[in-house]
Amino acid sequence: MRIHIMGICGTFMGGLAILARQLGHEVTGSDQNVYPPMSTQLEEHGIALKSGYLPENLDPKPDLVVVGNAISRGNPEMEAVLNLGLPYISGPEWLHDHVLQPAWVLGVAGTHGKTTTTSMLAWILESAGLNPGFLIGGVPMNFGVSARIGGGQFFVVEADEYDTAFFDKRSKFVHYRPRTAILNNLEFDHADIFGDLAAIQRQFHHLVRSIPGKGMIIAPSWEPALDEVLQMGCWTPVEHMAQENSGLSATWSYHLLSPDGSRFEIIHDGQPAGIVEWDLTGLHNVHNGLAAIAAAHHAGIFPERGAEALRKFRSVKRRMEIKATLGDMVIYDDFAHHPTAIATTLEGLRARVGDARIIAILEPRSNTMRMGVHAGLLGESLRCADIAVICQTPDLGWNAAEATASAGNVQVHDSVDSIIKWLEVEAAPGDHILFMSNGSFGGIHLKAEEMLRQRNAG
């Protein structure tokens, strides 16, 4: 079958393209911006890419068009699809019909940590010899690719609550019908499509309604927003997670053996069940790891084996990824998009580096961030940094300096170049410099590294 994918350079749609090629289909794709690394990854899989959305991209006519959720009416290529009467489908629906339907699906949902937790779960199954398929909204370093069909009965999917397509405004994860589901956390996000937290909770309950009675839900005991979802009706067993001796009821708990989260013990049904010792930090990653071990257990993997696998887990690109080490100065890149994620990432780094100076440099780039929905929370989320810098881009719909005035450690710059010039003067040996954005941030990581190398050499 000849399949054409619109919006192919997004991580989800690019992953679909790779899966379609592995299934033997001829695949082409179009996107507004075709550039590495996704373009390189797709071309390596024999997928022809076309830059821009044009009617001629549909010549020769494909047998099926898969439409990404970034595509809207008025798009010239989409209008041609409709006028020509070509068959079209959303990405999540195609994924279910052609990949997920026969599989034991393990889905990972939540406001934060989906990509990392999905990668952990896939790696545990891989380490157990189960050869899982997966589709992940990032590139897990243990695998080097964001998607594969796999060779067993299990398929691990990052279950996103964002909408499906312009013709289907349900969340993507409604299509996945997992047998095992992790509900990691739930906060208000995606203000461009959801009016309030209750609207997101309704979508999460649609997901809960699709999980079979012989399936399993893994959920934390500390998330009231998820408790409210489950109280709407739940027909599936739920295993809860908590910190040991927290007073919360839980099947799975953890005991910190290191304050930065780099070493912790798994407790299952009150009994020790393995120790995780890894390079990751932060309570959020402890929670992610515990959830992955619990979900893998439902698929038949003993928690001790899951803990052993996580000792060799190498995280995901752009999740506290070390980009450069210049003497005792370290530069990191993190995919930050929400105050809670920013705070937990910085808390984990602080616990690891102690009194060393942390410089956090943030680009508020997500739709919700640009709208200013969480502007009042940013100052507090950056409190663990010694110095925090916010890039006030022209499309930011609020004043970053005013929003963070009470924080004391925050300053605002209006461009990447301004930040680079400031770093040239300010950065010092021993600093931990953390760039936080869910976009490319104007290539600031490479610019900062090059500038600092030249400065230090001079």
* CATH 3.40.1190.10 matches 102-310: yes
pLDDT at 43: 86
Q: In this model, does residue 371 exceed pLDDT 90?
A: no
- Which amino acid belongs to residue 292? A
Q: In this model, does residue 298 exceed pLDDT 70?
A: yes
pLDDT at 456: 79
Whole-number Cα distances in Å, 422 to 62, 149, 261, 342, 387: 51, 46, 32, 22, 12
The verdict on whether omega for the bond into residue 224 sits within 30 degrees of 0, i.e. cis, is no
Mean pLDDT within 446-456: 87
Whole-number Cα distances in Å, 154 to 238, 302, 303, 389: 20, 16, 18, 43
Mean pLDDT within 338-351: 84
The more confident residue out of 451 and 109 is 109
Q: In this model, does residue 366 exceed pLDDT 80?
A: no
Mean pLDDT within 353-366: 89
The verdict on whether omega for the bond into residue 60 sits within 30 degrees of 0, i.e. cis, is yes
101-115, 216-230, 238-252, 394-408: lowest mean pLDDT where?
A: 394-408
Residue with tokens 């790696």, as numbered in its chain: 123
Q: In this model, does residue 37 exceed pLDDT 70?
A: no
Q: Would you say the CATH fold of 321-457 matches that of 102-310?
A: no
Whole-number Cα distances in Å, 439 to 318, 335, 413, 442, 445: 10, 8, 17, 8, 12
Q: Using CA atoms, how far apart are residues 376 and 388, in angstroms rounded to an integer?
A: 15
Q: In this model, does residue 247 exceed pLDDT 80?
A: yes
The ranges assigned to domains in the chain are 2-90, 102-310, 321-457
pLDDT at 402: 84
User: How many residues does this entry show for the chain?
Assistant: 458
What is the tens place of the pLDDT at every residue in 191-212? 778 889 999 999 999 999 999 9
pLDDT at 103: 97
Q: In this model, does residue 133 exceed pLDDT 90?
A: yes
pLDDT at 87: 98
The secondary element (H helix, E strand) that includes residue 183 is strand 180-183
pLDDT at 379: 83
Residue 329 structure tokens: 């100065």
pLDDT band at 410 (very low <50, low <70, confident <90, very high): confident
205-214, 233-242, 377-386: lowest mean pLDDT where?
A: 377-386
Mean pLDDT within 150-170: 95
SS3 category, 161? coil
Second-level CATH architecture of 2-90: 3-Layer(aba) Sandwich (3.40)
At the fourth CATH level, the homologous superfamily of domain 321-457 is Mur ligase, C-terminal domain (3.90.190.20)
pLDDT at 458: 67
Q: In this model, does residue 180 exceed pLDDT 70?
A: yes
